[in-house]
Amino acid sequence: MSKLDNPDVIVVGAGHNTLTTASYLASCGLGVLVLEKNAIPGGGQISKALTLPGFIHDSHATAVVHLQGHPLLKNDELGLKSKFGLKFAYPDSSFMTIFDDGDTLACFMDVDRTCADIAKYSAKDAEAYRAMAAMMAQLGPMITMSMAKPPVKFGSFISFLEQSPIGEEMLMAMMHSSYDLIVERFEHPKVRLHFLKWMAEMSCSPEDKTTGMTLLFLIYSSHNNPAGCVVGGTIGLTNAMISCIEHHGGEVRCNSPVKKIINAGGIAKGVELDDGSVLMAKKAVVAAIHPFDLGDMVPGLDAGLVERAKKLELSTYGGVLINAALNEAPRWIAGKQPEGCLCVNYVDYTTFEDFRRTFDELKYGELPTHFCAYTSVHTLYDPTRAPAGKHTLYMYGFAPLHPKAGHWDDLKEARADWMMERLARYAPNVSGSNILARHVDSPLDMYRHTPSLRYGDNVGIAMYIYQFFGRRPTPELAQYRVPGAKGLYLSGPFMHPGGGLTGGGRATAINVMEDLGLDYSKVIIG
Ligand SMILES: Cc1cc2nc3c(=O)[nH]c(=O)nc-3n(C[C@H](O)[C@H](O)[C@H](O)COP(=O)(O)OP(=O)(O)OC[C@H]3O[C@@H](n4cnc5c(N)ncnc54)[C@H](O)[C@@H]3O)c2cc1C
């Protein structure tokens, strides 16, 4: 009998977070078996030849930013970079906006360079930005570290902030919306629109209260972490994690959908697969179970706990993603600068009213009437993703999770036509025979791919302050443990520190190892 017929730990799901947890647990000497429902592992951390042979496309996450400052990569804790082949390409700038008149505004890792770009529009705004970056330079390292560990209680976090003027300032930002902050600090309409669109990438309206902290953290992260993409596609991160797990004797098994957790006498003992087969774990079960599914997946839980988990709030919107194979690279009306940028953003609003209405449209299930998208042309900095001389295009545009009129399967191609036509106003050669093939995913397609990204919510549940830190997803589940199912741990975007490639699964691993009495100091540094 192989070690993995009766593993120490069964991990349900091979996405970013669960693979992170599995990699840490395997590195600590546990026998780990990962079960993935899909034929290809990765969840939202995946790339495929979606259009033509030789063209590699990211079908979900593409920009790796916050993770660069996480001990997993910063300290290369598990050797993903030094031993398991993970490589990044780093473009010159992380995020830029092209306005409809061809003007641009870019964010560089260097604060001075960013301020110089803002100063093209307003010297006062450049100084306001510098002050925000300086404030976050003081608080950011503490927040980054807290994202790699189990969350502190919400009250303790607030008390900590209340102890200093800078903490108070942060607290005020947390209570307000990004919109409040942006309008208060910046005067030029283009500077305001640039930051509003940037913030909106977090899948909630910048006008929603309690989103201000996200803006501040984005500012910190963009100047302290080199924004990159994985060479060969985001799946390279998945492959490095799987190599790490296998190196330590673990296994990742695809085409293995799990139906239920076996919860006997309040102890999670193993899993039942869709085909009725049963696998038992000796020490623990870690699972990507969206809070909405807890009651169905785990028998015997307290009805109140299940009900509270079902009441969580999803993000306001997701997006339509177009991946295309191009004969030649885009030629932008803005010139060469976008060629060195990871996420090129388009703003065709001229007034705030237009901008604000976009989020009302999304809230009411309508498709935005203004173009609200960003593109990445990975082949400009990672030529391995296409045959020589050819290019890939990734375009993500905001869209409602549930369209008010029609079904996503009927709407998505027409929406993609509209987005491509709008993009051609900024890059006229991205049209006609230059587009060799394309593939479109709607929010519904993303949900079909993985239940953690509920209805296409790419952060699992909304990133509002009341669903943050020791309250994510609910206070009783925030430590990854599931009361009423001892030995079961949750790992996913709906847990602290939230959605995106954030290395969140490390915190789950810490609590599993602590409960098992393991000395994890050899793998967890800092
Ligand atoms: C279009 C889009 C673009 C994005 N862009 C970015 C970006 O550029 N940068 C960034 O940082 N983030 C981005 N994200 C967000 C990021 O992809 C997700 O937050 C992240 O992938 C979540 O990882 P996870 O492991 O928690 O969940 P998932 O990636 O959803 O993985 C969960 C895995 O578990 C499997 N699973 C679930 N239930 C079962 C079961 N019962 N049995 C077996 N297997 C199961 C699923 O199939 C899946 O493989 C994007 C998301 C989307 C949708």
Residue linked to tokens 């500077």:
191
Residue with the smallest CA separation from ligand 1 atom 53 is 458
The predicted model gives 136-156 an average pLDDT of: 92
Of residues 388, 436, 323, the one with CA closest to residue 47? 323
Q: Is the CB of 38 under 6 A from ligand 1?
A: yes
pTM, full prediction: 0.97
User: In this structure, how many other beta carbons lie within 10 angstroms of the beta carbon of residue 330?
Assistant: 21
Q: Is 258's C-beta closer than 6 angstroms to any atom of ligand 1?
A: yes
For residue range 28-44, what is the model confidence (pLDDT) as tens digits? 999 999 999 999 999 99
**Neighbour tally for 388: CB within 10 Å:** 6
The predicted structure's pLDDT at residue 355? 86
> Which strands, in side-by-side order, build the sheet including 488-490?
251-253, 32-35, 9-12, 284-287, 488-490
CA of 519 to the centre of ligand 1 (A): 30
Give the pLDDT band (50/70/90) at residue 200: very high
Measured in Å, residue 45 CA sits from the centre of ligand 1 at: 6
Q: Is 525's pLDDT higher than 80?
A: no
Contact 473, 309 (CB under 8 A): yes
Please indicate whether residue 321, judged by its CB atom, sits closer than 6 Å to ligand 1: yes
Distance 459 CA to ligand 1 centre (A): 8
Closest CA to 42 of 396, 440, 452: 452
Q: Which of 73, 450, 459 to mutate to test the pocket of ligand 1 (most atoms within 8 A of CB)?
A: 450
Backbone phi and psi for residue 388, each to the nearest 5 degrees, phi listed first:
-50, 130
- Mention every residue, 6+ apart, whose C-beta is less than 8 A from residue 385: 55, 56, 57, 232, 233, 378, 379, 392
Phi, psi (rounded to 5 degrees) for 53 = -55, 140
Of 459, 444, 448, 454, nearest to 493 (Cα)?
459
Is the pLDDT confidence value at 62 over 90? Answer: yes
pLDDT at 309: 98
Rg (CA), the chain: 22
Model confidence at 526, in pLDDT bands (50, 70, 90)?
Answer: low
Which residue has 């192989």 as its token pair?
2
Ligand 1 mean position, distance from CA 246 (Å):
21
Confidence of residue 474 (pLDDT cuts 50, 70, 90): very high
- Give pLDDT, residue 87: 98
Query: What proportion of the chain, given as a percentage, has pLDDT over 90?
Result: 90
Q: Is the CB of 228 under 6 A from ligand 1?
A: no
The DSSP symbol for 313 reads P
How many Å lie between the centroid of ligand 1 and the Cα of residue 337? 31
* CA angle (499 as vertex; 202, 391 as ends), nearest 5: 70
58 near 16, Cβ under 8 Å?
no
Mean pLDDT of the chain: 95
3-87+230-311+452-515 carries CATH number 3.50.50.60 = yes
What distance in angstroms lies between residue 169's CA and the mean position of ligand 1's atoms? 33
At 1, is the pLDDT very low, low, confident or very high (cuts 50, 70, 90)?
very low
Residue 490 has pLDDT above 60, yes or no: yes
The alpha helices in 186-258, defined as continuous H runs, are 189-200, 212-224, 235-247
DSSP characters over 479-490? TSB-TTSBTEEE
Ligand 1 centre to CA of 364 (Å) is 25
Residue-wise pLDDT for 202-211, tens only, equals 899 999 999 9
Task: Specify the residue for token string 């540094």.
Answer: 525
What's the per-residue H, E or C state across 406-464?
Answer: CCHHHHHHHHHHHHHHHHCCCCCCCCHHHEEEEEEECHHHHHHHCCCCHHHCCCCCCCC
Closest CA to 60 of 321, 316, 318: 321
- Sequence ranges of the domains in the chain: 3-87+230-311+452-515
Query: Whose C-alpha lies nearest to ligand 1, atom 37?
Result: 13
Nearest-CA residue for atom 50 of ligand 1: 61
Question: How would residue 278 be classed by pLDDT, with cut points 50, 70 and 90?
Answer: very high
Query: Which pLDDT belongs to residue 4?
Result: 73
Beta strands 317-326; 32-35: pairing state: unpaired
Higher pLDDT, 489 or 217: 489
Using the mean position of ligand 1's atoms as its centre, give its distance from the Cα of residue 47 in Å: 12
**For ligand 1, atom 13, which residue shows the shortest CA distance?**
61
pLDDT digits (tens, 9 = 90+) for 84-95: 999 999 999 999
Is the separation of the CB atoms in 176 and 433 below 8 Å?
Answer: no
How far apart, in whole angstroms, are the C-alpha atoms of residue 67 and residue 133?
Answer: 19
Residue 5 pLDDT exceeds 80:
no
* Residue of 294, 297, 330 lying closest to 312 (CA atoms): 294
Using alpha carbons only, what angle is made at residue 41 by residues 40 and 42, rounded to the nearest 5 degrees? 125
Task: Work out which ligand 1 atom sits closest to the CA atom of 259.
Answer: 41
- 239 CA distance to ligand 1 middle (Å): 15
Ligand 1 pocket, 60 CB below 6 A?
A: yes
State which ligand 1 atom lies nearest to the alpha carbon of 456. 53
Q: Is 505 in the pocket of ligand 1 (CB under 6 A)?
A: no
Q: Is 319 in the pocket of ligand 1 (CB under 6 A)?
A: yes
Within 264-315, residue ranges assigned H as helices are 294-297, 303-310
- In DSSP terms, which residues pair with 375 in a beta bridge? 344, 395
pLDDT of residue 3: 54
438 lines ligand 1 (CB under 6 A): no
Distance 28 CA to ligand 1 centre (A): 24
Say which residue, 355 or 180, is predicted with more confidence: 180
- Under a CB-based contact definition with an 8 Å cutoff, are residues 317 and 203 in contact? yes
Instruction: Give 217-260 pLDDT, tens digit per residue.
Output: 899 999 999 999 999 999 999 999 999 999 999 999 999 999 99
Write the DSSP symbol of residue 68. G
pLDDT in tens, 387-403: 999 999 999 999 999 99
Ligand 1, residues 10, 11, 12, 16: which to mutate, most atoms within 8 A of Cβ? 16
pLDDT above 90 (res 336): yes
User: What is the rounded CA–CA span in Å between residue 189 and residue 257?
Assistant: 49
Judge if the beta carbon of residue 202 lies within 6 A of ligand 1. Answer: no
- Looking from the CA of residue 451, the nearest atom of ligand 1 is 37
